[in-house]
Amino acid sequence: MYRQANAHKLHFYQTPTGVQRAAARGRFVTLEPNEHFALFSVSYPYARPAVGTFVERLATQYFDACNEKLIVTSAVRPESDQPRNSTDRSVHPTGMAVDLRKPTKRRCLTWLRKTLLSLERAGVVEATEEFHPPHFHVAVFPGPYASYVKRLTGRPIHVAGSRGGTYVVRRGDTLWEIAREHGTTVPRLLELNDRNDETIRVGEKLKVPSAR
């Protein structure tokens, strides 16, 4: 999981403020409960866009199979708010992981285990069944998962969190950071915006590559 986070150049958020700022900038999506899944004691209901798609797809399938909601117990979690038993290589601070409550019904537990194993074999997630407390920790690999969903549905999904192909520069941003968060390079951003100067100003709108 940690190697995948680094391979995708995902940022590890240190503080709650950093998480909130990332959400405001569109780098995360909000996990909004619906008829297929619910949140339980989730302090920061945000995740990478690909993770949001994963939760929605899995929850719909789980509800169809078990006639009950999938319960999400954790999503992005900054490094300053990690539990004591967390590893220093946890990927929760990147927003690429979610925790799912372990079903109490045997058939539902069996279904979830088989489904997660199938996704692991496809190379798009890494899932760990944990016992204290009982839950599944699932890391979603943004690029591979987006390709997987596109193969199944014929439709691309968001992997970077840009909105409408533009990004509004905020205080503290650098062009390098913006490029990294949108899966591109500084030269590519300069080319898209027809400019040579790397200087950016707060409030300026930049074109970014499609996050699909």
Domain ranges of the chain: 2-153, 166-207
Instruction: Classify domain 166-207 at the CATH class level.
Output: alpha beta
pTM: 0.74
Among 75-79, 194-198, 202-206, where is mean pLDDT lowest? Answer: 194-198
**DSSP structural state of residue 43:** S
Q: Rounded to an integer, what distance in angstroms lies between the CA atom of residue 116 and that of residue 169? A: 38
Q: Rounded to an integer, what distance in angstroms lies between the CA atom of residue 99 and that of residue 96? A: 11
pLDDT tens for residues 37-72?
999 999 999 999 889 999 999 999 999 999 999 999
- Helix (H, G, I), strand (E, B), or coil: what is residue 5? helix
Residue 183's pLDDT band, with cuts at 50, 70 and 90, is low
- Intrachain domains 2-153 and 166-207 with the same fold: no
Q: Rounded to an integer, what distance in angstroms lies between the CA atom of residue 174 and that of residue 155? A: 32
Spatial contact of 169 and 162, defined as CB atoms under 8 Å apart: no
pLDDT tens for residues 85-139?
777 789 999 999 999 999 999 999 999 999 999 999 999 999 999 998 899 999 9
Residue 49, amino acid: P
pLDDT tens for residues 167-177?
788 888 888 88
Q: Measure the CA angle with vertex 177, ends 175 and 180; round to 5°.
A: 110
Spatial contact of 200 and 169, defined as CB atoms under 8 Å apart: yes
Q: Which of 203, 206, 153, 154 is nearest to 184 (CA)?
A: 206
Residue 161 has pLDDT above 70, yes or no: no
Rounded-to-10 torsion of CA 9, 15, 19, 24: -120
Instruction: Classify domain 2-153 at the CATH class level.
Output: alpha beta
